[in-house]
């Protein structure tokens, strides 16, 4: 080995030793955002998380709840007269003036597309009577949805002490809101024409991914000095439908890059899998192998053969499984095989658990499918007669 070859080899070994994270990089993306999450909409399974349970400011992603509350509480054709307070709200705004009149519907487009803080206050006052009154409605809804680490103080998300959420709970809120057809239509709109005092105004969606990244159909951007750059995205390709939340990115470019990284990572690595069908097939195999291993103590000789079933086996359950893990799914059975009648159909005898990389991802109870009876007096009497000497 000549000196040049030896030197190159030493350099390569040194590079691997000092920078193993580059050579053996994980497929999990590295992002700038302070907290983030990706969830599967169908199962709410977390596909990626970074500080997803930390309480953080969420800027204008607050307006997801604002929009939802307005839709649920009033007629969208109602006319709103803009107050001085709403017209004087700072930050992002569509330019409302005191006394302007708009429909609730048009204000909602101004809220979610253009991220108007003036529209947020106008809507809050119209629905809740005041900002505080509207915040009370927002927090009531958060409680209803089980969002225990979320608190709203404003309808627009401008920085205020005590106004916070988590990436995880913001994803859950977004998933719920998207089930509302009106909400889903608004956030999936790239450009709209609204009317202020009957005069048309064209507004564009601030969501940079909408219309530019395959499958994205919403939902909301955000920025304040305290929250930094935020973006909640919904994206569907094939059978996989996800929500991606990035909060606290340093720049708009970082929030865009982070969102794209997480979305592409999710679709490249996860596939919706009918886990209930896998469980059912594994269960039928196990049942056939173990059908003669059950023992009934003092059971009636007229009992039918023991039959077993899984609870809710008729319901199909799809879970996003990492492609690299599908072949390595394992199934574990725990079942009581010594039975003491009488036992009713539906009695839980055990459990089936499916594991992916040692993590339990699916569980079903194993149930008795038929009644099992004890011996009656007559059957005991027959047994005694059989034991008597002839």
d(C-alpha 175, C-alpha 187), whole Å:
13
Is 316 assigned a catalytic role? Answer: no
H helices of 145-248, in order, are: 167-177, 181-187
What pairing do the DSSP bridges indicate for beta strands 101-103 and 79-81?
A: antiparallel
User: What stretches of 30-147 adopt beta strand conformation (E)?
Assistant: 35-40, 46-50, 79-81, 101-103
Residue 40: CB atoms within 10 Å: 20
The answer to whether 322 touches 270, Cβ cutoff 8 Å, is yes
Residues 6 or more apart whose CB falls under 8 angstroms from that of 135 comprise 124, 128, 152, 153, 154, 155
Active site residue 324: no
State the catalytic residue, choosing from 33, 50, 57, 60.
Answer: 60
Catalytic residue among 63, 153, 220, 375, which?
A: 63
Q: Give the DSSP H or E segment for 363.
A: strand 359-368
List residues bridging with 48 in a β-sheet: 38
**How many Cα atoms are found within 13 Å in the side-chain-facing hemisphere of 49?**
16
Which residue in 83, 92, 115, 356 is the catalytic one? 115
26 is catalytic: no
Its sign, for the CA torsion 71, 76, 78, 81, is positive
Q: Give me the active site residues, please.
A: 60, 63, 115
């Amino acid at each position: 080995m000549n000196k040049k070859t030896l030197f190159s080899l030493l350099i390569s070994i040194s590079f691997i030793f000092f920078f193993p994270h580059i050579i053996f990089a994980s497929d999990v993306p590295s992002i700038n955002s302070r907290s983030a999450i990706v969830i599967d909409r169908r199962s709410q399974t977390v596909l990626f998380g970074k500080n997803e349970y930390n309480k953080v400011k969420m800027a204008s992603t607050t307006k997801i709840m604002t929009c939802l509350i307005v839709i649920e509480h009033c007629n969208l054709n109602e006319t709103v007269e803009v107050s001085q307070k709403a017209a004087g709200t700072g930050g992002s705004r569509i330019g409302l003036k005191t006394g302007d009149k708009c429909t609730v519907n048009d204000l909602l487009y101004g809220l979610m597309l253009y991220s108007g803080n003036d529209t947020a206050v106008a809507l809050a006052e119209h629905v809740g009577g005041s900002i505080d009154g509207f915040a009370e409605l927002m927090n009531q809804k958060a409680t209803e949805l089980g969002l225990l680490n979320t608190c709203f103080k404003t309808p627009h998300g401008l920085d205020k002490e005590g106004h916070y959420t988590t990436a995880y709970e913001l994803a859950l809120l977004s998933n719920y809101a998207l089930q509302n057809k009106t909400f889903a239509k608004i956030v999936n709109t790239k450009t709209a024409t609204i009317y202020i005092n009957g005069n048309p105004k064209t507004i564009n969606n601030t969501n940079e991914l909408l219309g530019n990244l395959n499958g994205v159909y919403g939902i909301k951007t955000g920025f304040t000095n305290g929250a930094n750059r935020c973006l909640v995205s919904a994206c569907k390709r094939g059978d996989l439908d996800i929500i991606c939340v990035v909060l606290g990115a340093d720049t708009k470019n970082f929030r865009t890059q982070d969102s794209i990284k997480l979305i592409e990572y999710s679709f490249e690595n996860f596939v919706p899998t009918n886990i209930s069908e896998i469980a059912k097939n594994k269960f039928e195999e196990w049942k056939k192998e173990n059908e003669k291993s059950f023992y009934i103590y003092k059971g009636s000789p007229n009992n039918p053969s023991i039959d077993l079933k899984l609870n809710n086996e008729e319901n199909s359950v799809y879970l996003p499984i990492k492609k690299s893990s599908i072949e390595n799914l394992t199934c574990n059975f725990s079942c009581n095989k010594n039975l003491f009648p009488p036992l009713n159909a539906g009695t839980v005898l055990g459990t089936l658990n499916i594991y992916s990389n040692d993590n339990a991802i699916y569980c079903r109870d194993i149930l008795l499918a038929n009644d099992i009876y004890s011996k009656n007096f007559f059957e005991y009497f027959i047994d005694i007669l059989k034991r008597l000497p002839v």
